[in-house]
Structure 1
Amino acid sequence: MRVFEIQSTIMLVIFAVLLVVKLFAFISALTFSSQSYEAAGKLTKPAWSLILGLGVVLHFLGMVLRLPIGFTGILGIAFTVAAFVYLADVRPALNGLTRR
């Protein structure tokens, strides 16, 4: 019985960490100007804002409505990957433009 409690706790922590990552990426995407995205040669600000915002909404709804993992599965993974791509590629490029 204790094993399932540990597993449940680990999954809850992972779920919360991924929500924080998506929220951070979304808020970060909103802080840069549209011109910065164009100058960096990345997708537009509305595109990144939409992608990351939908990821946050889906993740939050999955948590609040307690949707089964299969419901949010492939979309959840896609939005998580998008958040990590933004943080690893787009955000550093945008930061590089503003430091000059």
Structure 2
Amino acid sequence: MGPVQYWILLTLTLASYALQLYAFVDALRRPAHAFRSERKLSKPIWLAILLAAAGVGIVGFPGFLSLIVAVAAIVYLADVRPRLEPYSARRGGRGGGQGGGPGRRPSSGGW
């Protein structure tokens, strides 16, 4: 492998690892009830998946395997995180006058 290919793979590997860590920290900050309310895997399961992916990513460093395990972080960030956003304390969460009673998803307005 040439030096240019090595640096490209190293850059992609580091970006993949950063993405995995970002997804893990984001999942840590979300309330557990939000995962249940949105009928997603539980918070501990997502944390385990993301931590395992980050662990494999760092052990396989630098390599193609570290890019493959980024799929877990991508799925979390693309599918789960947007569904959990209304439950964030920064946006008023469930107690900020949005939404309804227990177990109901906060309203984001619209039609």
Which band: TM-score by shorter chain?
0.7 to 0.9
Q: Deviations over 1:48-78 (max 9, x none)?
A: 0000000111111222xx6x65xxx3x862x
Q: Which residue of 2 aligns with 1:58?
A: 56
Q: Which residue of 2 aligns with 1:97?
A: 87
Give percent identity, aligned residues only: 33
Looking at CA atoms only, which structure, 1 or 2, has the larger radius of gyration? Answer: 2
Aligned residue pair count: 90
Q: Which residue of 1 aligns with 2:94?
A: none
Query: In structure 2, how many angstroms separate the alpha carbons of the residues matched to 1:13 and 1:61?
Result: 16
Higher helix share: 1
Aligned partner of 2:44 among 39, 43, 46: 46
Q: Give the alignment's TM-score, normalised by structure 2.
A: 0.72
Q: Alpha carbon RMSD of aligned pairs, Å?
A: 2.1
Unmatched 5+ residue regions in structure 2? Answer: 92-97, 99-111
Moved over 3 A (4+): 97-100
Q: Which residue of 2 aligns with 1:23?
A: 21
Cα pair 2:16 2:67 within 8 Å, conserved: no
Cα pair 1:37 1:44 within 8 Å, conserved: yes
In structure 2, give the amino acid aligned to 1:87.
L
Q: Give the alignment's TM-score, normalised by structure 1.
A: 0.79
Q: Secondary structure, in 3 states, of the residue corresponding to 1:26?
A: helix
